[in-house]
């Protein structure tokens, strides 16, 4: 009877893809070291990234190119070029102005401000004028109202002058009893006072009448100028483009800049920077 043989038992092989216990121990030791290195390195890298690059400033001095990391004191009277790290132009540093140049700029700034203020005032005046008088009929009515008050006042003055003239005629007739071709007596004090008062009142009323005539002429001239301006604005002219309205200019005191101190050598540099010649 044949003998039955059992199959051979396979010998187990050591694992090839898994981690051994020693590997795990090494990994556990290295991980804290790596984390500590990152904690130290990251802030330093961030500070390095945030730190601005040192400027590069150049100018020509005595035929040579001068380079520095700050404005060059010897070149304050000429333009200096600030470069980017890649060598491209970042900006031009202008020369330091002299005391005369500073004073001239201040005066020009004052003139520019005055001109801008006058322009704004002209624009506001024109807009207000168009709001007050949307058409010629409204402007004519306003002129009549302004002149109407003067006419009433002038009429009152004329009436008063006529009354004073009548009064003066009576006083002169009474005066004839004391002063004539045959008699020359002193006037009674009461009569003399009446004559003096009449003379003063007549002078005041005649002066008032002259002022009323001058005021009438002024109002008519103003409304004539306004009407001419309004016709242009109604026709499409831009507010402020017609110059000041005659009779409305405001005299502004000339603003003077503060006196320039004695030149402190406007081109004297501050502390000298690090400079290299190329």
Dist CA 269 CA 75 (whole Å): 9
> Residue 259 corresponds to which tokens in the numbers above?
């006196």
Vertex 263: Cα angle to 262 and 267 (nearest 5):
165
Per-residue pLDDT, 87: 83
pLDDT (0 to 100) of residue 12: 54
- pLDDT confidence of residue 73: 86
Neighbours of 145 (CB within 10 A): 9
Lowest mean pLDDT across 4-8, 34-38, 139-143: 4-8
Cβ-contact 262, 54 below 8 angstroms:
no
| pTM score above 0.75 | no
Residues 97, 98, 99: CA angle, nearest 5 degrees = 125
Domain extents for the chain?
54-96, 133-234
Say yes or no to pLDDT of 260 above 50.
no
DSSP class per residue in 3-54: PPPPPPPPPPPPPSSSPPHHHHHHHHHHHHHHHHHHHHHHHHHHHHHHSPPP
Which of 36-50, 78-92, 168-182 bottoms out in mean pLDDT, i.e. has the lowest?
A: 36-50
How do strand 89-93 and strand 275-277 relate by DSSP bridges?
unpaired
Q: Is 209 exposed, middle or buried (0-12, 13-18, 19+ CB in 10 A)?
A: middle
The per-residue pLDDT for 256 is 45
pLDDT value of position 45: 55
- The pLDDT score that the predictor gives to residue 243 is 81
Answer positive or negative: Cα dihedral of 130, 132, 138, 139.
negative
pLDDT, residue 130, reads: 94
Mean pLDDT of the residues in the chain: 79
Q: For residue 65, what are the β-bridge partners?
A: 60
| 230-259 confidence digits (pLDDT tens) | 999 999 999 988 887 766 554 444 434 444
Torsion angles phi and psi, residue 184, rounded to 5 = -140, 80
**Around 267, how many Cα atoms within 13 Å sit in the side-chain half-sphere?**
13
Q: What digits encode the pLDDT tens for the residues 85-111?
A: 888 888 988 888 888 989 999 999 999
């Amino acid at each position: 009877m044949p003998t039955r043989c059992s199959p051979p038992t396979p010998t187990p092989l050591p694992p090839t893809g898994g981690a051994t216990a020693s590997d795990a121990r090494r990994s556990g030791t290295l991980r804290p070291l790596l984390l500590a290195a990152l904690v130290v390195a990251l802030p330093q890298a961030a500070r390095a990234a945030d730190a601005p690059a040192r400027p590069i400033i150049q100018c020509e001095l005595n035929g040579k190119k001068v380079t520095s990391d700050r404005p060059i004191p010897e070149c304050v009277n000429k333009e200096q070029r600030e470069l980017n790290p890649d060598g491209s132009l970042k900006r031009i540093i202008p020369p330091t102005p002299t005391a005369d140049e500073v004073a001239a700029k201040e005066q020009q700034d004052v003139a520019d401000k005055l001109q801008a203020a006058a322009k704004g005032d002209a624009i506001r005046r024109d807009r207000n004028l168009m709001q007050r008088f949307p058409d010629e009929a409204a402007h004519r009515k306003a002129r009549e109202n302004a002149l109407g008050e003067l006419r009433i006042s002038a009429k009152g003055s004329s009436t008063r002058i006529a009354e004073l003239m009548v009064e003066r005629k009576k006083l002169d007739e009474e005066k004839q009893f004391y002063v004539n071709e045959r008699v020359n007596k002193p006037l009674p004090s009461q009569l003399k006072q009446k004559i003096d008062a009449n003379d003063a009142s007549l002078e005041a009323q005649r002066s008032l009448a002259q002022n009323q005539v001058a005021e009438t002429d002024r109002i008519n001239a103003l409304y004539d100028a306004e009407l001419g301006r309004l016709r242009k604005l109604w026709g499409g002219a831009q507010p402020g483009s017609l110059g000041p309205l005659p009779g409305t200019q405001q005299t502004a005191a000339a603003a003077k800049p503060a006196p320039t101190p004695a030149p402190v050598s406007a081109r004297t540099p501050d502390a000298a920077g690090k400079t290299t010649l190329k």
